[in-house]
C-alpha cells in the first residue's frame, strides 16, 4: 500500500479541480500498485475518481458518495472478498454513520 500511495502522490500534480486531481491520483495509483492491498487501494481510488466530477472544491456529500463508490469498486475487484481486510476498512469509511 505504501508503494501505491507513494507513487500516486509523486505523480499527481496540484490542481484547482478535484476531478483532475482525483483522476490523476487514481491513474498513478493504478500504475504504481504493488501487492494485493496496493491493487485494492488503486481500485478504490479509481472508483472514487469516477464519481468526483466537481470543479474546484469537493463538497462532503460528493466525497461521501465517491468513497462509497470506491469501496464498491475495490470489493468488485475480488472474486472472493474476505472480511477483516482492507475491504472492511474501506466499507467502514464509506458507511456514513462512521463519518458523523
pLDDT digits (tens, 9 = 90+) for 13-23: 999 888 999 99
88 vs 64: CA distance, rounded Å? 16
The predicted structure's pLDDT at residue 81 = 87
For 61-69, the CB contacts below 8 A with 24+ separation are 64/94, 64/96, 64/99, 66/22, 67/93, 67/94, 68/94
User: Can you tell me the distance from the alpha carbon of 100 to that of 86, in angstroms, rounded to the nearest whole number?
Assistant: 21
Q: Is 19 exposed, middle or buried (0-12, 13-18, 19+ CB in 10 A)?
A: middle
Give average pLDDT by consecutive 10-residue segment, the chain, 100 residues.
Answer: 94 93 96 92 94 77 89 92 89 73
Q: What pLDDT score was predicted for residue 97?
A: 56
- Global pTM reads 0.84
Q: Cell 465517491 maps to which residue? A: 66
Amino acid at each position: 500500500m505504501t508503494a501505491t500511495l507513494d507513487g500516486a502522490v509523486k505523480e499527481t500534480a496540484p490542481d484547482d479541480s478535484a476531478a483532475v486531481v482525483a483522476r490523476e491520483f487514481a491513474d498513478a495509483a493504478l500504475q504504481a500498485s504493488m501487492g494485493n492491498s496496493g491493487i485494492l487501494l488503486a481500485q478504490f481510488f479509481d472508483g472514487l475518481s469516477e464519481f468526483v466530477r466537481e470543479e474546484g472544491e469537493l463538497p462532503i456529500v460528493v466525497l461521501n458518495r465517491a468513497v462509497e463508490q470506491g469501496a464498491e469498486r475495490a470489493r468488485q475487484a475480488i472474486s472472493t472478498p474476505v472480511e477483516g481486510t482492507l475491504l472492511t476498512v474501506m466499507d467502514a469509511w464509506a458507511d456514513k454513520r462512521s463519518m458523523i
